[in-house]
Structures are given as structure tokens and as C-alpha cells.
Structure 1
Amino acid sequence: MISDRQLSILNAIVEDYVDLGQPIGSKTLIERHKLNVSPATIRNEMKQLEELRLIEKTHTSSGRSPSESGIRYYVNQLLQQTSHHRHKKMQRLRELLVENHYDISSALSEFANELSIASQYTTLVMRPNHKKDIINNIHLIRANAYLVIMVVVFTSGHVENLHLVSKVPLSSDELTNIANFVTATYNELNNQRFENELNAFVKSDFEKDFIKDMLDTIEVHFDNQSNGIYMGGKVKLIDALNESNVASIQPILQYIESNKITQLLDEMSNSSINVKIGHEIESSLSDISIVTTQYHIDDRLKGQIAVIGPTAMNYQNVIRLLNTIW
């Protein structure tokens, strides 16, 4: 545990380091924060913080920079403070869904770009898991003798168009009957009642195979969609890194573009603000931080947002922004 004065100095060092991008000395602290103490007192407190490994001294400057542990201490204080505040929640994603006619891909892509502009960092928006959405209706439309378009409508307003190929031609009436049957029984897929109703409904093995193809197509499509990630402001990540850590760009981008980021977002998946700093993300990553929270399309359908920046990130602004998202 550190003293209140040491905490104030640590906070000042972190915030000045974020603003200035260079080690912070006692003179800078006094000038920028109007501290009513002597430079000797500041230096003594900084020495204590250094012994606690919350700040570090570089070889090229007399100033100090925050260590990864110091940034973690600072962030924990911020998270504790903001957890007690009520924030007005914005409904921008809902507006984007309406503007994009409930095309979730387009809405989430725009949302990622807008969050990047607001935060000034790279953002990731993970597509929600549509298995938690409810299918409201299924329509089958014959495009030609063998090609069938399956339109899946969800209660969230989201619509998916999927292609099916039938082995023999199906009439419009047959397609309508099949679509009505699957719509009415879809939520019972995993129980014996569905099998009984399917056996009673189908008139041929072909119809049974066609219905199973429908269900497999929906399942595979949503498995593929559930890991979809939309990125905003990729170039901002490169801009945020300086000459001393430019070599870390490639492993960072490789991490973001791999399945590891999806796994990390799943692990951090809850409604609160979560922060991972440097080596907390992965042992090979030391120069970035990831701040995440949850967004809602409705009470059932939820996804994850991540803001990615350098460890010297403006955490106050990012946490404040993410606290406004519903």
C-alpha cells in the first residue's frame, strides 16, 4: 500500500508520461501539477515508488517512467472510482442498425470506426453469437429449379440470406410448407419431440434430407459468424508506437489477427470494464494494453468491444467512453 501523496505522484507520472511520451522528472511534476512540496520531497517519494517497482529510471534521462506494475496500480484506482459513477448510456449501435437496415456487419463495422475516432485508438468489435438470438421466421424462395434462397429473420431484426441446393425441384408450396415447419419447430431441435414431428411431417427421404441440410447450413453459418471481428483505426496502433518499440508492431498485429484475440475477448466477456496490460495479455507482448467491455443489441444478444493502444494509453478517456456504451 502506498501513501496518498505517493499515489498522487504515481498518477501524475502516468498521466504526464501518456501526454508527453517521455520520462517525467520532479521539476516537470511540480510545474504541471502545482505541487506544494519541494523538489527534494518529490525525488524522495519517487525513489520510494521506484523501490516498489511502480516506476522505472531510464539510462538516458533523470526522469522516471511508469512500469507495467505502476500502470496496473493506476488503472485499478481508475476502475474502482468509475465503478461508483453512473454514466448516461448511448444507443448509437441501435441507431446504426436502423441506418443500415439491420445489416449487422455494416453496423458493427461503422461502430468500430466511430469508436476508434472517439478513443483515438484501434478498436475491435466482436460479432455477437447469434445462437443466443431467436429465429422469428424462415422463408424459402426458389431462385431456379435447384437453387433455394433461405431467408432467416431474427427477433433482433437481423436477417441472413443463405443458399441451399436441392437435389430435385421443389414447388413454391412445398418450400412454404417446409419453411413453416422448420420455423415452428426450430427451438426444439435437440429433443425427441422434434424428431417425432419431423418423421410425421416429411413425405419422403428427400424432404427429410433437405430439412437437415437447412439446419446444418444455419448451424455452420452461425459458427463461422460468431468469431467475426470488425476493426477500426488499425493505423492508429502503428502511430501510437514510438521508435523504441517499433519492432513490436509485427507480433502485435499477428496477435490481433489470430484466434488468440477471440479467445482473450471470450475470457474477458462480462458487462464491466476489463483491462489487460502488456505481459498480462501474453508473455511476448509488452507494449500494448487492451480495454474491453460488452455491448448489447438487445437483452439477449451481446458482443465484446476492445480498445487497443500502447501501455501508455489515455485510460481515463477510454474507460469513460466504454462506460457510456450499452
Structure 2
Amino acid sequence: MGPDDRKLAVLRAIVEDYVLTQEPVGSKALVERHQLNVSPATVRNDMAALEDEGFIRQPHTSAGRVPTDRGYRMFVDRLSTVKPMSSAERRAIERFLVGAVDLDDVVHRTVRLLAQLTRQVAVVQYPSLSRSRVRHLELVPVSTTRLMVVMITDTGRVEQRLVELPGPAPADQVLSLRQKINERLGGVQLSETPSLVQGLVESVETAERPTMSALATVLLETLVERTEERLALAGTANLARAGLFDFQGSLRPILEALEEEVVLLKLIGEVGPAITRVRIGDENEIDNLRTTSVVSTGYGPGTTMVGGLGVVGPTRMDYPGTIAAVRAVARYLGDLLAKN
């Protein structure tokens, strides 16, 4: 093994020991606990070099060393294997999620499960409306001049709105409009519906036009132009576990940041392809989260990403285990949405 490989092995050993013991790591402990096959003097030299390069540092009160954000980044970038989930863990995930009755239940089960598996704060974004497709639109007469529009998406989201009509709509007209709307919008991604909704008004007979105009306005305003996204959060109590952060004073700003939905969406809602993102310490754009690391990924049926999920924890986290848990839960959630 060359000097760089050996230094990486020493850094890996320091990260693993520090995550496990929460104590700064000394050269003697490294030689005893890890088969590095080199002398303690060599390990001390490697540690001095790692410190000079900014991968580890010495806390004031200790002879041992702890990883820096840069050290964790090197460790994560060079991870050769992510800890696979055991078959018992995989079965537990499946059982826990399969019993869900509706989308709300699915999301809340997912976020609780992720918090339990990682013992950190878990965040799950509901499937984004703009990335969902219309499965079905139902028109339910509430009175002669009011209709309830119920939209069901392929991701299980149900949105409903009341529509005030300009005049009474006979039952056969409501049935006719429902059929036309579903023919035009069924299976279409919500982000692509505005031009189709506009076209619906022009495509109906004159008698149906006032009712369809009122429906189109509500569809455009509430189903297409909705920008807010919904999130579920669990496990904030995990942050308060003894010794989790080097500075207990850093908890309050973290908790305050986690109360901001905009912040959480920034952390996990930038849904791209299903890659796992790991942001460590100062890599976080949000000042109050600079003492934390965020592991996030997208999820969705098949290759379509409809939402994000992830965990927030201390920079001193079990990265291989956390990455594996986030990926596994995202995969099961995607499979579940694909089956529905």
C-alpha cells in the first residue's frame, strides 16, 4: 500500500472510531484496533500529515484527533462500500410501509421509519404536484350551483376544491363535462396541463361553456399554479441525544432552521435523478445547519422522481449506514408508489 493509500486507511480508521466512540482518537488506539500493519511511529507521521492537510484536527483538551468536515468529505468520497441493509432490516421496511392505507399514512410511516433507522432527523417531501400525473378528476355536485372538483394523481395525492358556478348545472351536463375533462387530462403531467385546460373551454358546446370556464379557472388556480409543497418531519428529539454535537449550544439554531419548510425543501426537495447527495458541515448553504450533515435522495415510481427524502444529523454520523438507509427507504417508497 502506497503512502497515500495508507493515509486514507488511517483517516478511515479515525472517522470510524470517532463515530463509534465519540472520543478523539489517538495513534495507540488506531494501531491496537485496526490492522494497519505499520509501526505506531508511522501512524503518528501519517496523522501529522493528515492534520497539516486539514483532514483531522486536535481538540484543545485532548491528545487524540477528530475528523474535520474536509476529512469526512474525503471519507465519503472514497467510500468503497455502503453498508448493505440486513435482510431483517429490509423485511422490516417492507412490512412497515406495506400496511399504509393512503398517501398521508405512507409519508408519515416513511418519515418515522427513516428517523428510527438512522436515529437522526428525517424529512420526507410529499410527492410534488407538478411532477405528478392526473389519474382521474371527479365532479361532485354539492348543490345546483356548486361543484366539488376532486383530483387524484398517480402518486396518490388527492386535491379537492369547491367551484361556484355562474348558474345551475344539470346532472347530464356535469357528466358530460367530467368525461371531457378526463379524456383531455387523464395521464397528463400537471405541469403540462395549463394549455390543455384552456383548450377545454374552447372545445365544449356553447351551453356548457360558462360551467367549463368556472371549472377551468379553479383548475388553473389551484391545481396547476400551486407552488407550495408539503413535508413531514420526524425524530427532532434525536438531536438532543447526549454528546451528539460537540457544542450543545448549536442545537437551538438547528431546531429553528428545521421549523422552516422553505429550508427543508432546499435540503431535500431539489429532486434530480436518484443520486444520493451528502452535504457536510460548511457545504450546507443554510448558516444554522453548518454543524450538521444532510444525506438526501429523490424517490418515485420507476425512473420518475416525484419527491425528495433525507436525514439531518451531526457531521459525526455513520455515513455508510445512513446512506444505505436513505437509499433503501427511497427505493421501497418508489416501489410502493409504482404498485398503487
TM-score band, normalised by shorter chain: 0.7 to 0.9
| Matched position secondary structure for 1:3 | helix
Partner of 2:126: 127
1:318 corresponds to 2:322: yes
Q: Is the 8 A contact 1:133 1:300 kept in 2?
A: no
Partner of 1:238: 240
Q: Percent of pairs identical after alignment?
A: 27
Q: How far off its partner does 1:26 sit? A: 1.3
Partner of 2:338: none
Q: Is the 8 A contact 2:130 2:224 kept in 1?
A: no
Partner of 1:290: 294
Gap change, CA 1:43 and 1:93, over 3 Å in 2: closer
Partner of 2:310: 306
Gap change, CA 1:93 and 1:65, over 3 Å in 2: closer
1:275 corresponds to 2:278: yes
Residues 152-161 or 6-15, more deviating: 152-161
- The separation in 2 between residues aligned to 1:196 and 1:236, in whole angstroms, is 51
| Matched position secondary structure for 2:247 | helix
Q: How far off its partner does 1:155 sit? A: 3.6
Equivalent position to 2:254, from 232, 252, 255: 252
Partner of 1:105: 104
| Matched position secondary structure for 2:78 | helix
Gap change, CA 1:46 and 1:94, over 3 Å in 2: closer
Partner of 1:165: 164
- The separation in 1 between residues aligned to 2:46 and 2:237, in whole angstroms, is 38
| Matched position secondary structure for 1:297 | coil
Partner of 1:223: 227
Q: How far off its partner does 1:309 sit? A: 0.7
| Matched position secondary structure for 2:227 | helix
Matched residue type, 1:254: E
TM-superposition CA deviations, 1:208-242 (whole Å, max 9, x none): 43222331354268533xx2111121211232664
- The separation in 2 between residues aligned to 1:134 and 1:181, in whole angstroms, is 17
Structure 1 stretches of 5 or more lacking a match?
none
Normalising by structure 2, what TM-score? 0.81
Partner of 1:143: 142
| Matched position secondary structure for 1:323 | helix
Matched residue type, 1:184: E
Q: Kindly tell me the number of residue pairs found equivalent between the two proteins.
A: 321
| Matched position secondary structure for 1:313 | coil
Structure 2 stretches of 5 or more lacking a match?
332-340
Normalising by structure 1, what TM-score? 0.84
Partner of 1:51: 52
- The separation in 2 between residues aligned to 1:92 and 1:214, in whole angstroms, is 42
- The separation in 1 between residues aligned to 2:97 and 2:245, in whole angstroms, is 40
